[in-house]
């Protein structure tokens, strides 16, 4: 014990174990277009757990980032004055994906 009180040497997080039906549902949602981050939040598991379940089921993973039509839409919205946050919310994608797409389109983005 020290000035902070009782020190716990190791803190274990809660773990969520998906049933076979839960994994089936997760895979179906992924195949329907849901992203890994969205599935992790929805099923209460870590992103790497989602990826591991998909790998075990031999589900090919989609390429990270925005598709060409999504990138064109992000560029249009950005040029219209939308913020990265507003674009990501509007498109339902991660802000980092929007930022990477805009950077690859050679648009200047404030840090």
At 27-66, the pLDDT tens digits run 999 999 888 888 988 888 888 999 999 999 999 988 777 8
Domain count, the chain: 2
Does residue 110 form part of some domain?
A: no
* 43 shares its domain with 91: no
The answer to whether residues 31 and 74 belong to one domain is no
> Over the stretch 86-110, which tens digit does the pLDDT of each residue have?
998 888 788 888 888 888 888 765 5
Q: DSSP per residue over 45-65, as a string?
A: --HHHHHHHHHHTTPPPPPSS
pTM over 0.75: no
- 81/46 same-domain check: no
Beta bridge partners of 2: 5
Which structural domain range is residue 79 located in? 68-104
Tell me the Ramachandran region of residue 58: left when phi exceeds 0, alpha when psi lies from -120 to 50, beta otherwise: left
Q: Is the domain of 53 the same as that of 79?
A: no
């Amino acid at each position: 014990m020290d000035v902070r009180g009782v020190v716990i040497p190791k803190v274990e997080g809660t773990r969520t174990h998906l049933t076979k039906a839960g994994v089936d549902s997760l895979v179906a949602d992924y195949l329907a277009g849901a992203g890994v981050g969205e599935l992790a939040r929805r099923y209460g598991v870590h992103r790497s757990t989602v990826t591991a379940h998909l790998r075990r089921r031999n589900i090919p993973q989609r390429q990270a980032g925005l598709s060409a039509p999504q990138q064109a839409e992000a560029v249009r919205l950005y040029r219209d004055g939308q913020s990265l946050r507003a674009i990501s919310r509007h498109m339902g994608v991660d802000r980092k994906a929007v930022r990477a797409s805009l950077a690859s389109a050679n648009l200047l983005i404030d840090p």
